Amino acid sequence: MDILKKTAEISDRGCPFMLATVISVDGSSPAKPGFRMVVASADESYGTIGGGAIEKIIIDEAVNTLAGSGSLPEPELRKLNLRALGMECGGQVELLLEYFGGRNDFLLFGGGHVGRALAPVLELLGYTVTVFDNRPEITSSIEAEGRKLIIADYNDISSAAKTLKSAEGCFIATHGHEWDQKVLKQVLETSAGLPYIGMIGSKTKVKAIKDSLKAEGLNIPPQLYSPVGLKIGGDTAAEIAVSVAAEIVAVKNNTDAAHMRPQST
């Protein structure tokens, strides 16, 4: 049960991890069926699957896999010959190796109707959502929904810098065009490499903002999607949220889709 609690704690932090379980033992071995070990990093592992060379090879493999950029492996049964590993007991251990992905951060600038509709959809997709807004009065409603909240001035989004650094993307839909531009400018100045940057707005508004930022010497990266979303029709907050979420999935999976933004950014 302690291992299960640890896996829950690691998962709640949004970190990927590997869970190794001893399935069977043939011959002499320090491992016993049911032994478990969870590995989150080179410095964070809990439990045991028998110690010694057994754990070293599995921990090293888990750390390398978790640090990689590709998708995590499917569950795998692995048999280890302990004598071949230099362990005198000489038995054989069968392990079940399971990898679990962490939750990715996503930052919403604006806790209005569209942001509130988009947040639960993103959470269903596995993101940990943080809402940034300058209105203290929205605190109770956002916190009641169980997500993170930053209340600060849109003129200075530095309090969101840590979240932006780890985020898979951000979406900008404040309660004013002026704030949208100020937020976008700061995002481009500090976090232009985000995989996805979405900003709500009409073609006219978006063009004016882009032209203004270009005049200030800022480059508009290809990761900026504005006008935002896929062409699915609809203009309610819920429909816009579905359109934006679909676009985020399409970008993540590098899939061709009918974006609202012009082909040339």
Q: The CATH number of the domain where 222 resides is what?
A: 3.40.50.720
pLDDT of residue 114 exceeding 60: yes
Same domain, 47 and 171: no
Residue 119: name the closest of 109, 76, 85 by CA.
Answer: 109
Same domain, 22 and 45: yes
Residue 188: name the closest of 154, 209, 219 by CA.
Answer: 219
Contact indicator for 174, 109 with CB cutoff of 8 Å: yes
Distance CA 173, CA 198 (A): 9
The pLDDT, as a whole number, for residue 82 is 86
Task: Convert 20-53 to b/e letters by CB count within 10 Å (16 or more is b).
Answer: bbbeebeeebbbeeebbbbbbeeeebbbbbbebe
Distance CA 185, CA 213 (A): 7
Same domain, 196 and 224: yes
pTM higher than the cut 0.75 = no
Query: 46 is written with which tokens?
Result: 């809990």
How many domains, the chain? 2
Same domain, 93 and 130: no
Q: Is residue 263 part of a domain?
A: no
- Sign for the CA dihedral angle at 257, 260, 263, 265 comes to negative
- Taking residues 122-129, report their average pLDDT: 89
Q: Which long-range contacts (CB under 8 A, 24 or more apart) does 243-251 make?
A: 244/114, 244/118, 244/171, 244/198, 245/118, 245/121, 245/122, 245/125, 247/198, 248/106, 248/122, 248/125, 248/169, 248/196, 248/198, 249/125, 251/169, 251/195, 251/196, 251/223, 251/225
Distance CA 207, CA 240 (A): 20
Domain boundary, last residue among 75, 100, 125: 100
- Taking residues 104-112, report their average pLDDT: 93
Q: Is residue 259 part of a domain?
A: no
Q: Is residue 262 part of a domain?
A: no
Distance CA 139, CA 90 (A): 60
Residue 36's pLDDT band (cuts 50, 70, 90): very high
Domain boundary, last residue among 70, 100, 130: 100
Distance CA 108, CA 91 (A): 54
The pLDDT, as a whole number, for residue 154 is 97
Same domain, 86 and 163: no
The angle at the Cα of 174, spanning 254 to 222, to the nearest 5 degrees, equals 30
Same domain, 111 and 233: yes
Domain boundary, last residue among 55, 78, 100: 100
More confident residue, 263 or 159: 159
Same domain, 65 and 22: yes
Q: Is residue 230 part of a domain?
A: yes
Same domain, 159 and 239: yes
What amino acid is encoded at 161 in this protein? Answer: A
Distance CA 132, CA 95 (A): 44
The pLDDT, as a whole number, for residue 265 is 52
Among 37-51, 141-155, 196-210, which stretch is predicted with the lowest mean pLDDT? Answer: 141-155
pLDDT in tens, 149-176: 999 999 999 999 988 887 889 999 999 8
- Taking residues 70-77, report their average pLDDT: 85
Residue 70's pLDDT band (cuts 50, 70, 90): low
Range of the domain at 7: 2-100
Same domain, 113 and 241: yes
Q: Is residue 220 part of a domain?
A: yes
Mean pLDDT score of the chain: 91
Same domain, 130 and 147: yes
pLDDT of residue 69 exceeding 80: no
Give helix then strand counts, H and E, for the chain: 8, 11
Query: 174 is written with which tokens?
Result: 């404040």
Residue 219: name the closest of 245, 187, 251 by CA.
Answer: 187
Same domain, 243 and 184: yes
Same domain, 151 and 34: no
